[in-house]
Structure 1
């Protein structure tokens, strides 16, 4: 974001009608800011689903993308959140990997909403939840695309959505997690799912990972979120989704320190409820369902 904003302003200055510029010195800045608002806002909602993950992306052109759905008990909460935000259908549903705390809540969502297409990790699993997930996809004849590393997914032409990690032979569920880098103008979101340190190492060497907003991997587990990786990401903001008083100790003290050392302000769903980030592609505004969403504990 910071590295591109100046260039955008310069380009807009040269595009600004010169006769108008001569009439008003402040007019040129009014023109610049009016142009940055023309395409609308991107909203990313990190839904509070306890010890799980779920994100709703509402694009500038009014498309809706749901990434994961929390566990089975979270399904109705996700449906409520989507309905409250005016969602009638989902243009893309992403199941990052088959663990129950990511796909469990997708079952009622798939039953409730029309889903245009699904992006799946391709990682097979034997649980009843996963089996029912695949049954619903077949029953409703929803087109399914298996994520391919390095590919781009087109939903809204104003956005870039790239797959940085996908399933590979011998990968565990977490290692098979779909990792997405979402870009709107100069603002990037890195959505890590449950990817681990091995995938972080690969991504930082193969792809551009620097991003203003970082969705903390694996709920803040020490299996992920290495400082070496976060130094490459350089996040301004991080969001961690976890359950209050969970028995896994998420987020770990080590991960919190790594994020603080990397310069990120850490927001937590367990503290603030659903965390929403809105951007015009140049700057971000952050709001939360509950007060005091920032995680300050060392």
Structure 2
């Protein structure tokens, strides 16, 4: 039987997930998002300390926001680190030459489409795609239906059709203010199910095109165990993934966008019916949303990196279970 580990690193309001999968003596290391620029050394050292390797067999950047792509720059510039294969999506995948020239007749299609993968702070750096190519990584788009040949990980969203209008919006280079909130997460006090549902269902969907275009992944190492990793996908993206895939309910889910109230509804949570929920967040009032945590706890224990630090799911016996942020009701 295959062995596996899924590590959700504690990187504040960012994402960095490491999967180790072993089958028939072959080991594979997968890195899904790499946190902020400052997180690259933490990720490198974590992989070495646990598995004595600097080789990442598959890297996936779910979307080009700085708290997901940032650490990849340091890893790709590190001579010790080898990344064999890289999955990411870019507007050039869906906006072809003719359409692009109608929209932007005076611009270069390739450079414009890759701008979203520019370094967050270093204007002299190569963008992430060009940097990966220069490091001889095999770079591929990752759309609904893509399956890795050796690792039981597949893409369940977005589809090419869903991503196309988002790519057009991404090219407009809409700048978003970083969603900062330093108020400490607090779950004390009475909070009814009705209050919890209204606190999220009455809110608008996350309007960021990069978030909506997040690569949604399903890791299914054994038949009875599956992990649904939602990146920062918004409600529309998750709804589309559910409509295109019949096997997403009952998963261990990585809650989208650090537990924001704009990325899930109570109806979507009920459809997903998770058996475990993991949130990567720093523990502010917004991240995670108290309403999201409450609605998730109707189905399962809810864990957050701000309470427990790095969280690990493994096929090996657990000796010290993590303490939930909120237990199943």
TM-score range, shorter chain: 0.7 to 0.9
Question: Contact 1:204–1:229 at 8 Å: present in 2 too?
Answer: no
Distance in 1 between residues matched to 2:82 and 2:56, nearest whole Å: 6
- 5+ unaligned residues in a row in structure 2: which ranges? 92-113, 121-125, 167-208
1:48 aligns with 2:10: yes
Q: Relative to structure 1, is the Cα distance of residues 223 and 286 closer, same or farther in structure 2, using a 3 angstrom cutoff?
A: farther
Q: Relative to structure 1, is the Cα distance of residues 74 and 195 closer, same or farther in structure 2, using a 3 angstrom cutoff?
A: same
How well do the aligned residues superpose, as a CA RMSD in angstroms?
2.2
TM-score, structure 1 normalization:
0.77
**Which residue is 1:175 aligned to?**
212
**Which residue is 2:98 aligned to?**
none
1:3-14 equivalence runs, <5 A:
none
SS at match of 2:243: helix
**Which residue is 1:24 aligned to?**
none
Question: Contact 1:40–1:60 at 8 Å: present in 2 too?
Answer: yes
Could you list the runs of 4 or more consecutive aligned residues of structure 1 that deviate by over 6 angstroms after TM superposition? none
Distance in 2 between residues matched to 1:102 and 1:51, nearest whole Å: 10
**Which residue is 2:64 aligned to?**
98
- 5+ unaligned residues in a row in structure 1: which ranges? 1-38
Of 198, 220, 224 in structure 1, the residue corresponding to residue 236 of structure 2 is 198
1:64-213 equivalence runs, <5 A:
64-86=29-51, 87-112=53-78, 113-123=81-91, 124-126=114-116, 128-129=118-119, 131-156=126-151, 159=152, 161-166=153-158, 168-171=163-166, 172-185=209-222, 186-207=224-245, 208-213=247-252
Q: Relative to structure 1, is the Cα distance of residues 126 and 178 closer, same or farther in structure 2, using a 3 angstrom cutoff?
A: closer
**Which residue is 2:324 aligned to?**
294
TM-score, structure 2 normalization:
0.70
SS at match of 2:77: helix
SS at match of 1:93: strand
SS at match of 1:164: strand
Distance in 2 between residues matched to 1:77 and 1:273, nearest whole Å: 13
Distance in 2 between residues matched to 1:150 and 1:192, nearest whole Å: 15
**Which residue is 2:205 aligned to?**
none
Q: Relative to structure 1, is the Cα distance of residues 210 and 287 closer, same or farther in structure 2, using a 3 angstrom cutoff?
A: farther
* 1:285 CA drift (Å): 4.5
